[in-house]
Chains A and B, each alone.
Chain A
Amino acid sequence: KQEVTQIPAALSVPEGENLVLNCSFTDSAIYNLQWFRQDPGKGLTSLLLIQSSQREQTSGRLNASLDKSSGRSTLYIAASQPGDSATYLCAMTGGGNKLTFGTGTQLKVEL
Chain B
Amino acid sequence: KAGVTQTPRYLIKTRGQQVTLSCSPISGHRSVSWYQQTPGQGLQFLFEYFSETQRNKGNFPGRFSGRQFSNSRSEMNVSTLELGDSALYLCASSRLLGNEQFFGPGTRLTVL
Instruction: Show the binding face of A for B, using Cβ within 8 Å.
Output: 31-32, 34, 36, 41-46, 49, 51, 89, 91, 93, 95-101, 103-104
Contacts and interface: CB of A to CB of B under 8 A. Distances in A.
A97 B96 CA distance: 9
Contacts, number: 61
B106 interface: yes
Main secondary structure of the interface of B (DSSP, over half): strand
Contacts of A31: 98
Contact of A98 (B42, B48, B88): B48
B88 to A, nearest CB: 8
A99 B56 contact: no
B92 interface: yes
B22 interface: no
B98 A32 contact: yes
A100 B98 CA distance: 13
Given A97-B33, A97-B98, A98-B56, A46 B45 contact: no
